[in-house]
Amino acid sequence: MSAATARRFVFTHPSLWLGLAATLVFTLLALVSLVWTPYPIANIEIGDRFLGPSAAHWLGTDNLGRDMASLVMAGTLTSFVVASLSVLIGAGIGVPLGLAAAAWGGALEWLVLRLSDFIFAFPAIIVAILITSLYGPGATNAIIAIGIFNIPIFARVARGGAMSIKTLDFVAAARLAGLGNGAIAYRHLLPNILSLIIVQGTIQLSLGILSEAGLSYIGLGTQPPATSLGLMLRDAQGLFLIHPWLTLVPGLCIVLIVIALNLAGDGLRDAIDPRLKGAQQNAA
Amino acid sequence: MLLEVSGLTVKFGATEALSNMGLTLERGERFGIVGESGSGKTLTALAITGLLPEGAQVSGSIKIDGEPLPRSEREMARLRGKRIGMVFQEPMTALNPLMRINDQIEEAIRINAAAGAPPIEVPNLLREVGLELRHGDRFAHQLSGGQRQRVMIAMALASQPDILIADEPTSALDLITQRLVLDLIAEICTRRHMALLFISHDLKAVAWLCSRVAVMHRGKLVETGLVQDVLGSPKQAYTQKLVAASRFNVRPLARPPIGKTLLEVRGIGRDYKQGGPWPFGGKALRAVDDVSLSVDAAECVAIVGPSGCGKTTLARIIVGLDRATRGEIRFAGELHHGSDLPKARRRDISLVFQDPFGSFDPRLTIEQSLSEPLRLEKLDASTHVDRLIEAVEAVGLGQEMLRRYPHEFSGGQRQRLAIARALVTRPKLLVLDEPVSALDVSVRGEVLALLARLQADFGLTYLVISHDLDMVRAIADRVLVMEAGRIVEEGKPHEIFARPQHKLTQDLMAARLPEVG
């Protein structure tokens, strides 16, 4: 798809545009928190606690008098970092495994598939509890736990895409030209399934943010003084009836980020769906 | 006048896909529309049935029995059901895979049942399209391609339509089945006095079936009239080109003399295991069974046979993509069994694929794709480039094409590039798997002429796999007929075609449609 058609597509598909724009806004907020937040997030001012939104504190303050806007910015960053790194782990290990399974087939394929069945059998949260009970809670262990859960998903997507490419004649032509399985996987299969992987990556990113929030909420993820959206929920849960605002802010943030990423993922899927592409070519 | 179309124009945005199309159809008449892919013939049919894709702007008039088509989708659906039956190209995707054939036909009957009319019964319909009652209890995947197409016809007949629209109903079928289905359509139209709108790229099928024809090109009507006038003495240049192309007149060129034996296949067999990864149980499927053949240098040998006879598997073993279960191959004096073809010999055998759209990686430039086989030879950079240019120019394309991507080329150009890729290592043997069957009629002739010229220029040896007897007759020195994995007849094309010995060869000859004009 050329740049011009891609641009036209964005304008004819508002949900993709909306999703990407919202994702970008949250990403920028998160990145800005690296260099600047309205207040330092470890700045405890007990006297200023439970303040409503005001000019000084845009989103008010929490039970320790910390600035909610600062916390949300830093928490979003943590969520994005944990989710992105776990997607990278999942794609980095899962995609090569899936490609190898498709390219070599036979015993290797069987092994990869059974291995992913094995990981699928445990919900992410159980894997996380296992890892954190062995190595202690923390953001790093949350990343590893979510990343491990992402591996079989990427392996399956990569293998499925590669299997359908593998039957095409150009792969047979490459084989005739003396290319081995590895070279075929790298040169022909990977570039042609990249779009699938990107779409799956976006969807796993939103699931990763949810998982991180869940893990932090039950105390297995990010630990204070660092913060994350899930941790903010955990801190605010006891006060929900008296100060619902403290729960609503991080909760709504999670919802908005996940919706944005899902919109972007679905939009991307529509944009690079090969069948849709075919329809556009036929019409042209 | 049963159907009257005039001034029909279909636009997608600013592009006019169909302009000022007109045709008329009398009761019981058979009308053919021929044209290449993208000529607007299918759009015409979709416009008549009101099934155009979203975003299409239609103008012009379509009248059935003098009445314009209804505006509302509901009435249009009723009209489609009652008056028009449709048969599509690919019957597998047009049938519901989860419903038994009986139920699908019955559904078509129930939806279109006219109040007070005597009920139609499924068995009668099955019998009318030449199926047995037991076929009705099966699912779509348990039927052959020809049987599925018969089911589609039965479903189209369920509403007792006045018009049957058949869009390339036989192009997915092999030669013998194609003839049976065409004869069935003709017979049913005559018996029911039903009008037929037959859409095809195959001039011979149209000439065989229809009394009047319209030739379309790039969304425009080129010529229309009686079949014997239009196809017998075409007036427009485009029609003349189309008729000439359907005859496969490959002019004979000065050819290098046929030399020594280049390829010898002895007792080759290929079994496919069925029934999962278990070593025992599950009967092996024998795709190729004890095949022996030899090809001499600079010869052109053709293997013909119906789909599923194992000819493609045989070709894959010869080029080294698959391994024979039994037997051996001697190529240029060296012995191998298929995929163990020595690397040094790989450059001497090339394969040209059937589908020009799947044979190039869409993400690589033509130069990258063409360079791939050159890995087999260690060449320095300047010879490498010279070879690429030589190959592209040999197939009549310019070297500036090398920087482009596959989607920028038409089907015929891609097939030329596929031949260029096969030539780039300067092979001795070129295996061509249905080299022109995926191409439009008008470019088939060009590609065949190119192959003939390349053989004269480079002394190439061809092994052609095909089901198209006319193409084989035009280019082959020797023909092998294959059935169920075995070679059943062998000989010079004119001998085999004049005096077929084996039952299959006789059937193939009988199924040929007469030449156009």
Looking at residue A282, what is its pLDDT? 40
The closest CB to that of B373, out of A170, A177, A192, belongs to: A177
| Interval B63-81 mean pLDDT | 84
What per-residue confidence (pLDDT) applies to B309?
83
In a domain, B203, yes or no: yes
- Whole-Å CA distances, B157 to A3, B128, B181, B425: 48, 10, 14, 54
Tokens coding B22: 């007109």
**pLDDT of residue B29 exceeding 80:** yes
Enter the tokens of residue A110: 């069987």
**Confidence label for A89 from pLDDT (cuts 50, 70 and 90):** very high
Q: Determine, for residues B372 and A179 on separate chains, whether the beta-carbon distance falls below 8 Å.
A: yes
Q: Domain check: are B235 and B275 in the same one?
A: no
* Share above pLDDT 70 across residues of chain B, in percent, rounded to a whole number: 95
B259 and B226 in one domain?
A: no
- Would you say residue A230 has pLDDT above 60? yes
Confidence (pLDDT) at A65: 72
Instruction: Give B358-382 pLDDT, tens digit per residue.
Output: 889 888 889 999 998 888 888 888 8
Identify the pLDDT of residue A91.
94
Q: What is the pLDDT of residue A8?
A: 62
Residue at B442 is within a domain: no
Non-local (6+) Cβ contacts of B328 within 8 A are: B266, B267, B268, B335, B336, B337
Minimal CA separation from A150 to chain B, in Å: 27
Instruction: Please indicate if any CB of chain A lies within 8 Å of the CB of B343.
Output: yes
More confident residue, A5 or B341: B341
B212 with B280, same domain?
A: no
The pLDDT of A82-91, averaged and rounded, is: 93
Contacts 24+ apart (CB under 8 A), B357-361: B357/B411, B357/B414, B357/B438, B358/A168, B358/A169, B358/A170, B359/A168, B359/A169, B359/A170, B359/A173, B359/B414, B359/B418, B360/A170, B360/B406, B360/B414, B360/B417, B360/B418, B361/A170, B361/A174, B361/A187, B361/A188, B361/A191, B361/A192, B361/B406
Task: Name the strands in the sheet holding B461-466, side by side, starting at the edge strand that comes first in the sequence.
Answer: B349-352, B429-433, B461-466, B300-304, B478-483, B486-491
- Do residues B124 and B188 share a domain? yes
The enclosing domain of B220 has a CATH number of 3.40.50.300
Query: Is residue B389 included in any domain, yes or no?
Result: no
Rounded distance, CA B166 to CA B486, Å?
35
Q: Which of B222, B245, B268 is the last residue of a domain?
A: B245
User: Containing domain of residue B8, as a range?
Assistant: 3-245
* pLDDT given at position A284: 32
Size of interface A-B (CB pairs under 8 A): 64
pLDDT for the residue numbered B73: 82
pLDDT tier for residue B66 given thresholds of 50, 70 and 90:
confident
Residues B202, B204, B207: CA angle, nearest 5 degrees: 110
Report which residue type is found at B329. I
Q: Is a pLDDT exceeding 90 seen at residue A87?
A: yes
Does residue B211 lie in a domain region? yes
The mean pLDDT of chain B is 85
Q: Given pLDDT bands bounded at 50, 70 and 90, which one contains residue B92?
A: confident
Query: Are B128 and B208 in the same domain?
Result: yes
Please check whether residues B261 and B115 belong to one and the same domain.
no
Measured distance between the N- and C-terminal CA atoms of chain A, rounded to whole angstroms: 13
In the predicted model, what is the mean pLDDT of residues B232-256? 79
pLDDT tens, residue by residue, A115-129 = 888 888 877 678 778
Query: Does residue B220 have a pLDDT over 50?
Result: yes
Weakest-pLDDT range from A10-19, A259-268, B26-35: A10-19
Do B138 and B262 sit in the same domain of this protein? no
**B53 and B190, same domain (yes or no):** yes
Q: Which of A159-163, A203-207, A218-222 shows the lowest mean pLDDT across its residues?
A: A218-222
Residue A95 — pLDDT band, cuts 50, 70, 90?
A: very high
B429: which chain A residues are within 8 Å (Cβ-Cβ)? none
- How large is the angle between the packed helices A229-236 and A190-217, nearest 10 degrees? 20
Q: Which residue has the higher pLDDT, A156 or B287?
A: A156
Asked which of B187, B210, B245 is the last residue of a domain, the reply is: B245
Check whether residue B295 and residue B331 sit in a common domain. Answer: yes
Domain assignment present for residue B360? The answer is: no
Q: Mean pLDDT check: name the lowest of A275-279, B430-434, B501-505.
A: A275-279
Same domain, B221 and B330: no
| Residue B89, pLDDT above cutoff 50 | yes
| Tokens coding A166 | 């593998």
| List of chain A residues whose C-beta atoms are within 8 Å of the C-beta of residue B376 | 177-178
Final residue belonging to a domain, choices B225, B245, B265: B245
A281 close contact with B: CB closer than 8 A:
yes
The answer on pLDDT for B142 being more than 70 is yes
Tens digit of each residue's pLDDT (9 = 90 or more) over A252-280: 889 999 999 988 888 887 776 544 544 44
Q: Is B387 on the interface with A (CB under 8 A)?
A: no
Best probe of the B interface among A169, A276, A282, by most B CBs < 10 A, is A169
**What are A7's two structure tokens?**
């641009």
Bridge-based pairing state of the strands B461-466 and B300-304? parallel
Q: Shortest Cα distance from A214 to chain B (angstroms)? A: 40
Q: Scanning the structure block, which residue is given the tokens 């005559």?
A: B190
Q: Residue B81: which region, alpha, beta or left (left: phi > 0; alpha: psi -120 to 50)?
A: alpha
C-alpha to C-alpha distance for B332 and B260, rounded to whole angstroms: 10
% chain A with pLDDT above 70? 91
**Arithmetic mean of pLDDT, B269-287:** 69
Is A173 at the interface with chain B, CB within 8 A? yes
Q: Which residues pair with B479 in a beta bridge?
A: B302, B491
Could you tell me the two tokens for B398?
């310019």
Distance CA B135, CA B129 (A): 12
- Mean pLDDT along residues A202-224: 85
pLDDT at B398 over 70: yes
Nearest to B192 by CA among B110, B114, B85: B85
Beta-carbon separation of A178 and B359 below 8 A: no
> Measured between alpha carbons, how far apart are the two ends of chain B, in Å?
28
Q: pLDDT digit string (tens) for B308-355?
A: 788 888 998 998 888 888 888 998 888 888 888 888 888 889 999 888
Quote the pLDDT of residue B277: 56
> Is residue A173 within 8 Å of residue B372, measured between CB atoms?
yes
| pLDDT of B35 over the 70 cut | yes
Tell me whether residues A176 and B362 touch, CB distance under 8 A.
Answer: no
Considering the domain boundaries, does residue B319 fall inside one?
yes
Residue partners of B444: CB distance under 8 A and separation at least 6: B245, B248, B436, B471
Are B359 and A170 inside 8 Å of each other by CB? yes
If you average pLDDT over residues B121-128, what whole number do you get? 86
Q: Is the pLDDT reported for residue A136 higher than 70? A: yes
Same domain, B97 and B201: yes
Instruction: Tell me: pLDDT of A281 over 50.
Output: no
Residue A7 confidence (pLDDT): 60
If you ran DSSP here, which 8-state letter would residue B467 be given? S
Domain count across chain B:
2
Can you tell me the mean pLDDT for B118-136?
A: 83
| Angle (CA) B425 B430 B431, round 5° | 135
Burial class (CB in 10 A: 0-12, 13-18, 19+), B177: buried
Q: What pLDDT shows up at residue B118?
A: 65
Asked if residue B123 is part of any domain, the answer here is yes
Query: Which pLDDT score is estimated for B431?
Result: 93
In the structure encoding, which two tokens stand for residue A120, read together?
């699928």
* Residues linked to residue B221 through DSSP beta bridges, in sequence order: B216
The average pLDDT across B488-517 equals: 85
Q: Is the minimum CB–CB distance between A169 and chain B shorter than 8 Å?
A: yes
B-chain residues near A279 (CB < 8 A): 53
For residue A213, pLDDT over 70 is answered with: yes
Sorted by where each starts, the structural domains of chain A and their CATH numbers stand as: 30-36+68-279 (1.10.3720.10)
Residue B372 forms part of a structural domain: no
**Mean pLDDT comparison of A184-198, B35-49, B129-143, highest-scoring range:** A184-198
Pair B276, B195 in one domain: no
pLDDT for the residue B471: 84
